[in-house]
Amino acid sequence: MTNIRKVAETAGVSVSTVSRVLNGHPYVREDKRRIVLETIKALNYTQNANAVHLSRGKTNSVGVVLPYLNLPYYGEILQGIAEEALKAGYHLRLYQTNYDSPAELDAFAALRMKEVDGLIVASRTNDLEELKGFMEGDRPIVLCENLESESLRSVYIDHYQAMGRALSYLQEKGYRKIGLCIHRLSGKNSEDRMRAFREYRGIEIRNEWIFTGCYHMEDGCRVLREWMNLKERPETLVVTSDQVAAGLLSEAGRRGVSIPQDLALLSFDNHPISELMGITSIEVPSRSLGREAFRMFLEEGRHRSVLQTTLFERDTV
Amino acid sequence: MTNIRKVAETAGVSVSTVSRVLNGHPYVREDKRRIVLETIKALNYTQNANAVHLSRGKTNSVGVVLPYLNLPYYGEILQGIAEEALKAGYHLRLYQTNYDSPAELDAFAALRMKEVDGLIVASRTNDLEELKGFMEGDRPIVLCENLESESLRSVYIDHYQAMGRALSYLQEKGYRKIGLCIHRLSGKNSEDRMRAFREYRGIEIRNEWIFTGCYHMEDGCRVLREWMNLKERPETLVVTSDQVAAGLLSEAGRRGVSIPQDLALLSFDNHPISELMGITSIEVPSRSLGREAFRMFLEEGRHRSVLQTTLFERDTV
DNA sequence: CTGAAAGCGCTAACAC
DNA sequence: GTGTTAGCGCTTTCAG
């Protein structure tokens, strides 16, 4: 167990001198610095991160809270966070929650326990007030949702606006009967989308045209079959992820449903698959969302940031 | 800054007693236990993880080293690891490397610094010998590649065998001229695949039929165009990921190339997209790979484990 | 059952 | 420039 004291002793200097060269502090004579460096190498010494963290009171790492890892949307957010973290010399601790409340609280507990310097929450299931209880003075929490708060930081896409835009685009194209494929009904982002959907005027919507639990391609296939079994069908579906839209589209091909003649599809994300399959999609800049979330964690001051969406017209509307 | 000592003082007991109730140790009288618990709640006290880690010499977390986060293969591995880690009460530290050598070494440095209790390496770029230099007595390193080693642990898919099987399947189907789409040429897994490809007898292969840098759908599109520009074309392509095969397939549709008549495709992964698009694919159980990797990190004893692949015949061969 | 005290390994204020 | 030393907050012998 070779520690800083041993290095100091064998190098014939004090621990503080060793600490200074370790941390690149000034005021160390060149010859001492050199002998310390040599001793470190000779003893094959490495700092103990936990001791450093304890002493410094921070860990240079940030926790990322997300429900699933195998969904492109979260993969991209994570990638964006990772890119910025790498630049800033931060590391990521992952809290994959499956929207399980205790698993999510775990991440917040880690914050209080000073295991992470801050938290980026890509999506959550716990109540905001509950979560606020875990706040620690200067340890930022960034949420990827539209939020007004003194204490929390928020990077988001205006899903209310994006949904409104989707609907007005469909309306312009002459569609009236509109259905929806959505991940879940709870959660700020989903609620914003739902609200926009329900409040929009001049279209026909029905509860049985709203399909929830749509995450993967398979869900898209399932929804198309359900759509076929409907007595009264919507003419078009707004789909909150490209993966699901891809499932819908390909199942439609198999079942002889013409897109967009029988059913139009307007999707969100604009990931490569939508371009590949010619799916009209509204880009949600998830990678940028991740990047921005990390920057917001790092920088003091900014507490709120909106990212813009872009419509890509292709062949499914 | 409410710490264990303060809790002890206000509860009127010693720090060790507080520590005992904190850690659920036996031999604490019920009334003391209760008063400690109450004081903890009253003072809104939380343990400092870094102090615990320092004192215990372990962090209950494992580092995961992988090149990219937005590739389904790695997403699934990560998901598998996360599932098992959750069960075991471990946390994940992410080291996303982009196959950048220093970024990868960072993870190994963290191991030496006792920031993680072990490492799971999904894919690496550094030399094995170099990495071994970072080994710490009892801190396991699990690599997702075929490896014989006393010190390292290995969970893998036999890519040599899987490739051989792919080729013999194609051969049975009457194909002779075979090309290859592969991620990269270096790396144990890729080398195993390449070796199987080169050593296989009775088929025609050419260097210009080997396409590297194939990760995403877009790469598949690109490769199809390159294939079209070839004077002499292979009749079939073995593709090391469904995403890339999907790109090839859809670009083929756009360019009027018939699959499998003009070009057959045999892919790896068997992720949902291959089922969706009817791509013949050899299942690589990446989720299980992740799960198994974590178990191997945790359990003493087992040092080597192979996972089997399964062929799913569909419409592209 | 309980407490005192010796670490765990490092940082940084302070004195020289 | 350099060394001494008091923390950082917790765990865990060891003695009682």
Alpha helices, DSSP H, located in A44-187: 49-56, 72-88, 101-112, 128-132, 159-172
**In this predicted structure, what is the pLDDT of residue A99?**
94
**Which pLDDT does position A44 carry in this prediction?**
92
Cβ separation of B48 and A114 shorter than 8 Å? yes
The conformation of residue A282, written as its DSSP 8-state character, comes to: E
Confidence (pTM): 0.94
For residue A77, give the chain B residue with the closest CA.
Answer: B70
pLDDT surpassing 80 at residue A14: yes
**Whether A50 and B75 lie within 8 Å, measured CB to CB:** no
- Rounded Cα gap, residues B81 and A126, in angstroms: 24
**Cis? peptide before B102, omega within 30° of 0:** no
Strand D reaches within 7 A of the A54 CB: yes
CA distance A207 to A228: 16
Whole-number pLDDT of residue A92: 97
3-state secondary structure of A18: helix
Q: Which of residues 5-34 of B touch strand C (CB under 7 A)?
A: 13-17, 20, 26-29, 32
- Digit-coded pLDDT (tens) for B266-317: 999 999 999 989 999 999 999 999 999 999 999 988 899 999 999 999 999 9
CATH architecture label of A4-47: Orthogonal Bundle (1.10)
The confidence score (pLDDT) of residue A90 equals 96
Using H for helix, E for strand and C for coil, what is the string for B110-173?
A: HHHCCCCCEEEECCCCCCHHHHHCCCECCECEEECCCCCCCCCEEEEECHHHHHHHHHHHHHHC
Q: Is 80 exceeded by the pLDDT of residue B86?
A: yes
CB pair distance less than 8 Å for A94 and B82? yes
Tell me: the pLDDT tens digits for A60-109? 999 999 999 989 999 999 999 999 999 999 999 999 999 999 999 999 99
Q: How far is CA A236 from CA A32, A217, A262, B132, B260, in A?
A: 74, 18, 8, 57, 33
Average pLDDT over residues B152-179: 96
- CATH code for A159-284? 3.40.50.2300
Q: Which of A108, A104, A122, A169 is nearest to A316 (CA)?
A: A169
**Across residues B146-169, what is the average pLDDT?**
94
Provide, rounded to the nearest whole percent, the portion of chain A with pLDDT above 90.
Answer: 85
Q: Is the pLDDT of residue A124 over 90?
A: yes
User: Are B50 and A75 inside 8 Å of each other by CB?
Assistant: no
The answer to whether B70 contacts A79, with C-beta atoms less than 8 Å apart, is: yes
Tokens at B283, concatenated: 């299942």
* pLDDT of amino acid B226: 97
Rounded CA-CA distance B249/B278 in Å is: 10
Supply the pLDDT for residue B32: 86
* Residue A25 binned pLDDT confidence (cut-offs 50, 70, 90): confident
Q: Among B50, B86, B247, whose Cβ lies nearest the Cβ of A114?
A: B50
Q: Which chain A residues are closer than 8 Å to B70 by Cβ?
A: 72, 75-76, 78-79
Determine the Cα–Cα distance for residues A286 and A300; give it in Å rounded to an integer: 22
The answer to whether the CB atoms of B246 and A276 lie below 8 A apart is yes
Helix, strand, coil percentages, rounded to 5, for chain B: 45, 15, 35
Contacting A with CB below 8 Å, chain B residues are: 46-51, 53-54, 59, 61, 64, 68-70, 72, 75-76, 78-79, 82, 86, 91-96, 103, 109-110, 112-115, 216-218, 221, 246-247, 250, 272-273, 276-277
pLDDT higher than threshold 80 for residue A1: no
Mean pLDDT on A119-139: 91
Q: What tokens does A182 get? A: 């959505």
Mutate to test the interface with B, among A94, A217, A244, A275 (most CBs of B within 10 A): A94
Nucleotides of D under 7 A from a protein CB: 1-5, 7-13
Which distant-in-sequence residues (6+ apart) come within 8 Å of B76 by Cβ? A70, B271, B286, B287, B289, B290
- Mean pLDDT, chain A, integer: 94
Q: What is the reported pLDDT for A174?
A: 95
Q: Which residues of A25-48 are buried (b: 16+ CB within 10 A; e: fewer)?
A: eeebeeebbebbeebbeeeebbbb
Distance separating alpha carbons of residues B12 and B277, to the nearest angstrom = 69
pLDDT at B182: 96
pLDDT reading at A128 higher than 80: yes
* Numbered ranges of CATH 3.40.50.2300 in chain A: 61-157+287-307, 159-284
Q: What is the pLDDT of residues A284-315, one digit of tens each?
A: 999 999 999 999 999 988 899 999 999 999 99
Chain B residue numbers touching A51 (CB-CB < 8 A): 54
pLDDT 10s digits, B219-233 = 999 999 999 999 999
Report how far apart, in Å, the C-alpha atoms of B2 and of each of A151, B51, B55 are: 22, 14, 18
pLDDT in tens, A152-164: 999 999 999 999 9
Q: Is the pLDDT of residue B1 over 80?
A: no
Taking an 8 Å cut-off on Cβ atoms, the answer to whether B78 and A69 are in contact is yes
Q: What is the model's pLDDT at position A213?
A: 95
Given an 8 Å threshold on Cβ–Cβ distance, is A114 in contact with B49? yes
Across the range A244-250, mean pLDDT stands at 95
Q: Which residues in chain B are classed under CATH 1.10.260.40?
A: 4-47
Give strand letter and number of the nucleotide nearest B3 (CA to C1'): D9
Query: Considering the domain B61-157+287-307, what is its CATH architecture?
Result: 3-Layer(aba) Sandwich (3.40)
Interface residues of A toward B, Cβ cutoff 8 Å, are 46-51, 53-54, 59, 61, 64, 68-70, 72, 75-76, 78-79, 82, 86, 91-96, 103, 109-110, 112-115, 216-218, 221, 246-247, 250, 272-273, 276-277
- The residue type of A281 is S
pLDDT of residue B138: 83
Answer for A51: CB within 7 Å of strand C. Answer: yes
Q: Which residue has the tokens 């599109």?
A: B221
Give chain B residues 31-70 with Cβ within 7 A of strand C. Answer: 32, 51, 54-55, 57
From CA A137, how far away is CA A69, in angstroms rounded? 30
Nearest nucleotide (C1') to alpha carbon of B31? C1
